[in-house]
Chains A and B, each alone.
Chain A
Amino acid sequence: MNSWRSYLVLSAMTVVVLFSFRQPSTSEESLSYPSHWPEPHYDFARNPLTKHKIDLGRKLFYDPILSKDGSVTCANCHLSFTAFTHVDHSLSHGINDSIGNRNSMALMNLAWSSSFMWDGAIERLDAQALAPITHPAEMGETLENVLQKLKASAVYPELFAEAYGNAAFGTRELLDALAQFQLTLVSDNSNYDKAQRGEYDFTEQEAKGYRLFKIHCNSCHQEPLFTTGKFENNGLPLDSTLQDLGRYAITDRPADSLKFKTPTLRNVEFSKPYMHDGRFATLREVLDHYHSGIDRNATVSEKLKNGIALTGDQKTELIAFMLTLSDRSFLFNPDFGYPRN
């Protein structure tokens, strides 16, 4: 009986304390995207977006606190104005000017992605940030240190409490916030999208390019996301210095040798240089490769074995179409840039 009474008293007190305790912001944000797009791969029902979490993730994305010497932010290699990739660098680099061995991927429409990195080494968006934070040639930091710095900072404990209602934040909240911001990076307002909505008419050249695209490119760079997200060997000769076998290093299956993730073509005008190692500087070089540069090695994609037959004019038409995938309202979206407030 005694313990029953104390249970009641304690319950009542707990309720009082809970009400005086700061509640996390729960106003949910929903991701908007065209109705004809497939369902996102990311499970928003399980982990809904909220404004505070997105804002926190954005602040972290642009904060060099994540790197060991405070010199590098996520945006160093994923700049918003260039489709969140590392413009003009074939191989991305990190702290102490160390050079990585791949070209950073463009970040957009990540909610539809079921794997991350060129070789799909990472299967969840919220696990992805661990890789660049701890990689010695990228941010070179430990997770423990990052959390320690964030906890000691004058602003972050408050921001984490607002977002997660829990002053004792940790790995889970850090990774979740970064993922939440990146999930909002949706690009769906290019001239191509406007043409789909009947708000833009392709020029004759673009229309011809679109027809060629559907014949030669769409099986891998599939509309509307312009990628299947699958791994393919697109006939690039092996770089003898980097010796990068791509997906094979992850699966250990010989059939995956030299396969890399098919990147989206959205905003491809801005995401140069191209390929996992940034070996091509222009779209023309990319098309020249597909036309006559295919290395017919054991795992090369069937569809590319004989190259893509294109005349010079057709290459120009295809490029004209690819430029319709540029989405300036995405690239210059004030919600995605460096947070000034």
Chain B
Amino acid sequence: MKVWLLFLLLTLSFLAFSQQGTEENVRLHFTPMIGDAHLVLNQRMETSAGAEVSIQTLRFYLSNVRLFAKGNEVYTEPSSFHLLDASEPSSMILELPESEGLKYDRIEFTLGLDSVTNVSGVFEGDLDPTKGMYWTWQSGYIHFKLEGQFTDSEKADDSFSYHLGGYRSPHATCQSIGIELPEAVNSSPSVHLSLDGFLSRVMPSEQRLVMSPGAKARDWFETAALTFPVHE
């Protein structure tokens, strides 16, 4: 145990030293929004359509992150997959390397994990099935998870649970997303993800529980992808 601790300390100090002299990384903040406000979990919030809602869980995977400058791909992140979890603020920030003399003007990534990553068997870090983003009875990752309830309803239970994903044809779900970055990208820009559109579809819907891959999950996933500001 002691050896471990020593090893950890040495590694940390090594990392600290090796970071010396390099610039700060670019930090891209993903900020979920409800109405005009930043999402706060487990709190009553009002959508732009006037519905009162409380969100318990928002988690999603981003993968294959690439950065562009003047139309050229200038950075491709290796082993690129990130679990963003609204209950862990630090996970909502994507750190990208600073590149001298280059201004990134566009970021592209995949919402969800591609089929190769899905069956890679990594099972560590963000891909650990204990993160609650894996269908254990049918190998595959949940790409996007949103759970909550409408709090102004007269129904006894007005809750919803969307576990969206799937990588098998014909219901494979992955969405390429490209976002133009503001000019002053080095100032840690924020990407606002509005949940209002998704919630306005949930409200009148009878499909409040989508928990397995298939046609329904794919359909709802496509709506979930619209929470991102620009998509292709």
Contacts and interface: CB of A to CB of B under 8 A. Distances in A.
Contact of B170 (A127, A143, A170, A252): A252
A135 B130 contact: no
Nearest to B138: A121
A130 B132 CA distance: 12
Main secondary structure of the interface of B (DSSP, over half): loop
Interface residues of A, number: 34
Main secondary structure of the interface of A (DSSP, over half): helix
A175 B123 contact: yes
A239 interface: no
A123 B122 CA distance: 13
Contacts of B11: 14
A252 B130 contact: no
Contacts, number: 83
A329 B116 CA distance: 38
A126 B14 contact: no
B138 A130 contact: no
Nearest to A126: B121
A122 B140 CA distance: 8
Given A3-B20, A14-B11, A127 B121 contact: yes
B128 interface: yes
B130 A17 contact: no
Most buried by A among B17, B138, B168: B138
A126 B171 CA distance: 24
A6 interface: yes
Interface residues of B, number: 31
Given A10-B10, A250-B168, A252-B214, A171 B123 contact: yes
Contacts of A6: 17
A80 to B, nearest CB: 25
Interface string B112-137: 00000001011110001110001011
Contact of B129 (A20, A121, A130, A252): A130
B3 A17 contact: yes
8 contacts: A17-B6, A17-B7, A121-B138, A130-B129, A130-B139, A135-B136, A147-B130, A175-B123
Interface of A: 3, 6-7, 10-11, 13-14, 17-18, 20-21, 121-124, 126-127, 130-131, 133-135, 143-144, 147, 167, 170-172, 175, 250-253
